Amino acid sequence: MALSRTRLQDFSALAEQLRPLAEARLFVDYDDFGNYTERREAFTDGAAAALAGIDTSPLYSWGMLPPAAIGWRSFVGLPGRVAGLPGGYLAGAEAVYGHPHRGPCPAFDLYWIAARAHLALARALDGLPEPSPALDAMSRGVRWRRPAYGYVIGDAATAEDHLGVETEVLLRASVAVARGEMPLIRTALLSPAQIPKKGKFVAGVSQWVFAQLTDEARASILRQQLPSARG
């Protein structure tokens, strides 16, 4: 990888959590010339036969990213089905790099996790990133409550400032996943094109993305804003 990762975009801890649960891994990146490259690795015999059926088009249809997205990350959960595998998630992370000729370039490190592993996945989500003691205590109290879906809106202008929103999105997502539900998960929406159009989702929104939206879109998000779970 020619583009360097920031401290926040080092996903080795994520790999430690998700690799034992996964049947396959999908890594999507840019090469030195600004072209997408993909690497696919199967961890089980069933996954080896099904890897060709993993549809990566949703990764490319999330729209062009603005320059302000460079340096950001988002933990991602894409529910779906793959031929030959039971329903589950592509779960992992997105990191946005700055390419000298292509501008913002998203890279994805994703793991296919079968639905039957939903309890273990919920525990992994609950620990990414490492929660504060207050959030950890709160998560033990809310894990089995009815999940809530919608947007967690923050006031962050930088990826570092967005970490509180990130933790809350993952906490709420873990509640849903523990119940066997499969919402779309994005800890940071990085362009208006990434706003979910339908279905169940838990997504984080920063103020710099919120400011790009139309009045109608902002009103819609505010109607679906999730109250803080810390209150």
CB of 151 within 8 A of CB of 207? no
User: What is the percentage of the chain residues whose pLDDT exceeds 90?
Assistant: 30
* Nearest CA among 25, 63, 64 for reference residue 42: 25
Other Cβ atoms closer than 10 A to 2: 12
Of 36-40, 51-55, 174-178, the least confident = 51-55
Whole-number average pLDDT of the chain: 82
Among the residue ranges 70-79, 137-146, 219-228, the one predicted with the least confidence is 137-146
Any idea what the Cα angle at residue 106 is, between residues 166 and 203, rounded to 5°? 30
Strand blocks (E) in the chain: 24-30, 36-42, 73-82, 85-99, 103-114, 150-153, 184-189, 201-205
pLDDT of residue 231: 47
Mean pLDDT of 48-64: 67
pTM here is 0.86
Quote the CA–CA distance of 200 and 81 in Å, as a whole number.
Answer: 16
What is the reported pLDDT for 90?
87
Tokens of 211: 């400011």
For 112-146, write each residue's pLDDT tens digit. Answer: 898 889 989 988 888 776 544 444 544 455 444 67
Angle at 147 between CA 231 and CA 192, to 5 degrees: 85
Averaged pLDDT, 100-106 = 81
> Span 96-101, mean pLDDT?
82
Residues 160-214: tens digit of each pLDDT: 999 999 989 998 999 899 888 889 999 999 988 888 888 899 999 988 899 989 9
